[in-house]
């Protein structure tokens, strides 16, 4: 994955919730085409940013350690996504994801995005947890997660 949409994870309670932020800037290429003369961050990418945060929460929640490869969160369903206001260059989008129902290999997460104290998006996301046997994929995730959490301590090991 090279389309990273979070700038920072700001909170994590494994098994419960995570918080993060995305700063919308004029350097985000997509805002120049969406829309000319009225740049906004696309709603689909707001959902994707929330999904990336939810994946982070799930991967740290479901991590078992040991000899088995880490399980990675794969988004399989977006339900009841609703948008309330746009995010424009200069805005900071604050995300919160909360773990809902879980099974051994699947989980549901509620996601919400706020801009300037107003709800911008909400959705329910469903993920499958899949063992991935690719050290390259795991190292990429570990690097990304270290960047997202630099300077923070959540008391869990990043898988």
Domain 8-148: CATH architecture, name and number where available: Roll (3.10)
pLDDT at residue 2 greater than cutoff 70: no
Mean pLDDT rounded to a whole number for the chain: 92
Between the alpha carbon of residue 7 and those of residues 20, 64, 80, 123, 147, the distances in Å are 8, 26, 25, 20, 9
Position 32 confidence tier, pLDDT thresholds 50, 70, 90: confident
**Distance between CA atoms of 53 and 21, rounded to whole angstroms?**
9
- pLDDT over 70 for what percent of the chain? 99
pLDDT digits (tens, 9 = 90+) for 111-146: 999 999 999 999 999 999 999 889 999 999 999 999
Provide φ and ψ at 59, rounded to 5°.
-65, -35
pTM across the whole model: 0.94
Identity of the highest mean pLDDT range in 95-99, 131-135, 147-151: 95-99
- Is the confidence at residue 1, as pLDDT, over 70? no
Active site residues: 34
């Amino acid at each position: 994955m090279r389309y990273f949409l979070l700038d920072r994870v700001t909170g994590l309670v494994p098994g419960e919730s995570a918080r993060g932020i995305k700063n919308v800037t004029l350097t985000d290429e997509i805002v120049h085409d969406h829309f000319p003369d009225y740049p906004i961050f696309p709603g689909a990418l707001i959902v994707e940013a929330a999904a990336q945060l939810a994946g982070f929460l799930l991967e740290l929640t479901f991590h078992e350690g040991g000899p088995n490869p880490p399980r990675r969160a794969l988004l399989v369903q977006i339900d009841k996504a609703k948008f309330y206001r746009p995010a424009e260059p200069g805005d900071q989008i604050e995300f919160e994801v909360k773990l809902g129902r879980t099974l051994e290999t699947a989980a549901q997460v509620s996601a919400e995005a706020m801009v300037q104290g107003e709800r911008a998006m909400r959705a329910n996301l469903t993920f499958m947890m899949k063992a991935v046997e690719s050290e390259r994929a795991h190292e990429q995730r570990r690097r990304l997660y270290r960047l997202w959490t630099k300077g923070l301590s959540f008391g869990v090991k990043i898988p």
